[in-house]
Structure 1
Amino acid sequence: MTETLHIIGGGMAGSEAAWQAANAGVRVVIHEMRPTVETFAHRTGSLAEMVCSNSFRSDDDKQNAVGLLHWEMRAAGGLIMEMADRHRLPAGGALAVDRDPFAEAVTERLRAHPLVEIVEEEVTALPRDGHWIVATGPLTGSGLAEAIAAEAGQESLAFFDAIAPIVHADTIDMETAWRQSRYDKGETEDERTAYINCPMTKDQYEAFIDALLAADKTEFKPGETAGYFDGCLPIEVMAERGRETLRFGPMKPVGLTNPHAPKEKPYAVVQLRRDNALGTLYNIVGFQTKMKYGAQKSVFAMIPGLQEAAFARLGGIHRNTFINSPTLLDADMRLRSKPHIRFAGQITGVEGYVESAAMGLLAGRMAAAEIEGGQLPPVPETTAMGALVTHITGGADAKTFQPMNVNFGLFPPVDARGGRKGRQVRYKMYTDRAKADWADWLGHRAAAE
């Protein structure tokens, strides 16, 4: 009888790893501590619960690295992408997901799989034998985190993650705000009107920045340092870097026309993106925050259109741990000191839902092949999957290793020059090469089976 693969953690990475391994014929047990042990950010006991944002970012597989990663996961029969597509929401060119039905669907599919068992328990130590994948994500339980740190011979690296607030749609003043995707992007009317926009004048923006900088904020405990992932900076940290930073970031006023005052160009715009299929909830895009709850309510009430807004969830900040993967993991994502244990997901130092699920996909396939007595060929580093796994298992400098989203800077270069047009040609070359190499790799794997 085939040996069992044990997976610690039922988030994006753990769920995808379980799906891939089970579909390869391997029995899988998912050990998930929720809902028995709660976390700061999670609200349910569902697998693959989304907590920070409801967006998988760009779905453009010809000009964007994360869109290419979407394509590769779909080609590999990924559960996370299948459920994301099934529960997608209008979001212009982005892939936004109705978060609760999405997580419930992932959970239902895994519970229904004859080779998958889900055990609600907390694992607090590294297992001594067997086949294991640690996919505990950014909120790894303290007991297991301490065990990982002890095994690594050093303290786990850490940074801080912030989450954005969610607003009840019927409390937004639509006589001030309007619906429009930036540059009217989208193929349908729903997609072209997927965002709600709140305009600001220069005086309103300056007053907002002043209030943001002066607001009460969460303080760190003694000994903690505020290391943030640049892709998920709290808005007040961005404001501290310069008063115009937000205007060139999440509050940029470009590609939008206010129908209430079409001749007046807003100085800044706050965007909200639909958070559920009913359209009753919207999250404030890019507004991760470490402000205390009372301060959030008063500061966000300064945004035109949100004066009377009611919040389904306020923002917050939490500790996010990850290992120094280039030092600790081999090319097959195994812990060098305990090769029966693989790591996958955000704990490896990839950042983002899709990247986490992608590393789960690879870990699940690698573990299944090993259990069946084989080994997968190396994943081509010319693919999005290969670029990520190469980065975390040796491509990155261990001394400066920090969480990373997938991007074309991780890929072996292609030769294309000529300004902006050259970039578009180069990105297309990256994606064409990646798709061919990924299809070839999947074909080799199928032939081996």
Structure 2
Amino acid sequence: MTPGTQQIHIVGAGLAGSECAYQLAHMGYSVVLHEMREMTSTPAHKTGLFAELVCSNSLGSQTDYSAPGQLKWEADRLGSLILRVAEDTAIPAGMALGVDRQRFSEKITEIIKHHPRIQVVNEVIENFDQIPRPAVIATGPLTHSKLATAMAQHFDEEFLYFFDAIAPILDTDSLNMDIIWRGDRWGKGTGDYLNCPLNKEQYERLIAEILGARKIEPKDFENVPYFDGCMPIEVMAERGPETPRFGPLSPKGLPNPRSSERPYAVVQLRQDNREGTAYNMVGFQTKMAYPEQQRVFRMIPGLEEAEFLKLGSMHRNLYINSPRRLTPWLSSRKDPGLYFAGQITGVEGYFESTCMGMM
């Protein structure tokens, strides 16, 4: 197949689908991009925009000595759309590439919709028969239920699942900056994080309340493992009361400039938009009931009067057993014209999923 001679259909305008569509169109191919979210949504998405970031607003480390940093270096040389827009909409996030999620998705949507070689079709794809070949399925871990059923049948019911969770987002004006201080761990970066200190008594009380709070656990989530990179704070605490303190609440490298006493634990907040009017709670993904989140998290010093712009939640993600069901070229072993890209193939992370779309 040569550019301009045949259409390529892509299902899903997330990170991988948007990157894939752009790269193919840039090479001269005609692309039809199918996206459902102007017609229906998912348990985690809030808009109909392309490449919506539903969990963190960070695309990972930018340091040249890290694997995520090296991946960005390679993607930059390959002309990644997602990376270019992420850099254009970047906000302070220390050594990570944080973005204003609204501006980021708006810009991706505008570029894709106005590309002369990309036709966007708003529709729900319910089975593979609706899509001509060659086709790329990039529907992500929250694939529409009917397409997920068709996919399960195609792969002989062999699907894998894991929990994913979302952390709360706070209104900056409601934070007590007499207690909270600005600074990055070990002094690296430009002081972009906000830090809430806890002494031992405050930490132990917080963990006890997290463990005792009412949780939301739908029955269809039973026996599905949690993803370690986005584990609910209460699940982390269940593994041991000190576990969060050796994870996202670690005080290491974060001395409190307002006190000679070393914090026993520190809760970090990361900027969520360019204006700095919203911050998300780093590592506080949760399945606690909404009223419980507000009650418990307001126990954190500096968050006593916190206003929640968005509360935490949890959803189930699915992915393919790719080594068994896909070829080395990421096409179905049953249907070579049917390709898969993004997180549904089993990769983890926003930018890792993006790069699967480039492939």
Aligned residues: 355
Which residue number corresponds to residue 242 of structure 1? 240
**Is 2:137 the partner of 1:134?**
yes
What is the alpha-carbon distance in structure 2 between the residues aligned to residue 102 and residue 287 of structure 1?
A: 23
Query: Gaps spanning 5+ residues in structure 2: where?
Result: none
The question of whether the paired residues in 1 share the 8 Å contact of 2:11 and 2:35 is answered with: yes
One of 208, 211, 214 as aligned partner of 1:213:
211
What is the alpha-carbon distance in structure 2 between the residues aligned to residue 336 and residue 269 of structure 1?
A: 49
The question of whether the paired residues in 1 share the 8 Å contact of 2:158 and 2:321 is answered with: no
The question of whether the paired residues in 2 share the 8 Å contact of 1:220 and 1:226 is answered with: no
Shift of 1:223: 7.1
Higher helix share goes to which structure?
1
What is the alpha-carbon distance in structure 2 between the residues aligned to residue 8 and residue 319 of structure 1?
A: 20
**Is 2:289 the partner of 1:289?**
no
Which residue number corresponds to residue 304 of structure 1? 301
Shift of 1:155: 4.0
> What is the DSSP-based 3-state SS (H/G/I as helix, E as strand, rest coil) of the residue aligned with 2:141?
helix
> What is the DSSP-based 3-state SS (H/G/I as helix, E as strand, rest coil) of the residue aligned with 2:60?
strand
Shift of 1:255: 1.1
Which residue number corresponds to residue 411 of structure 1? none
- Give the AA of the match of 1:117: Q
**Is 2:167 the partner of 1:198?**
no
One of 307, 316, 334 as aligned partner of 2:313:
316
Which residue number corresponds to residue 103 of structure 1? 105
Of the structure 1 ranges 127-136 and 81-90, higher mean CA displacement relative to structure 2 is found in 127-136
The question of whether the paired residues in 2 share the 8 Å contact of 1:271 and 1:284 is answered with: yes
> What is the DSSP-based 3-state SS (H/G/I as helix, E as strand, rest coil) of the residue aligned with 1:117?
strand
**Is 2:183 the partner of 1:180?**
yes
Which residue number corresponds to residue 270 of structure 2? 273
Shift of 1:157: 1.2
Shift of 1:129: 4.1
The question of whether the paired residues in 2 share the 8 Å contact of 1:175 and 1:260 is answered with: no
Superposed CA RMSD in Å reads: 1.1
**Is 2:256 the partner of 1:258?**
yes
> What is the DSSP-based 3-state SS (H/G/I as helix, E as strand, rest coil) of the residue aligned with 1:67?
helix
Q: Which runs of 4+ in 1 moved over 4 A?
A: none
The question of whether the paired residues in 1 share the 8 Å contact of 2:221 and 2:316 is answered with: no
What is the alpha-carbon distance in structure 1 between the residues aligned to residue 221 and residue 211 of structure 2?
A: 23
> What is the DSSP-based 3-state SS (H/G/I as helix, E as strand, rest coil) of the residue aligned with 1:60?
coil
Cα deviation 1:308-356 (Å, max 9, x = unaligned): 1001100000010101000111011101101111000010000110010
What is the alpha-carbon distance in structure 2 between the residues aligned to residue 275 and residue 93 of structure 1?
A: 15
Cα deviation 1:57-108 (Å, max 9, x = unaligned): 11012x2111111111111000000000111111111110111101111111
The question of whether the paired residues in 2 share the 8 Å contact of 1:13 and 1:361 is answered with: yes
One of 58, 64, 67 as aligned partner of 1:65:
67
Query: Gaps spanning 5+ residues in structure 1: where?
Result: 187-191, 363-449
> What is the DSSP-based 3-state SS (H/G/I as helix, E as strand, rest coil) of the residue aligned with 1:144?
helix
What is the alpha-carbon distance in structure 1 between the residues aligned to residue 308 and residue 284 of structure 2?
A: 13
- Give the AA of the match of 1:163: I
Tell me the TM-score normalized by structure 1. 0.78
> What is the DSSP-based 3-state SS (H/G/I as helix, E as strand, rest coil) of the residue aligned with 1:52?
coil
One of 312, 323, 326 as aligned partner of 2:323:
326
One of 13, 16, 22 as aligned partner of 1:19:
22
Which residue number corresponds to residue 394 of structure 1? none
- Give the AA of the match of 2:124: E
Shift of 1:215: 0.7
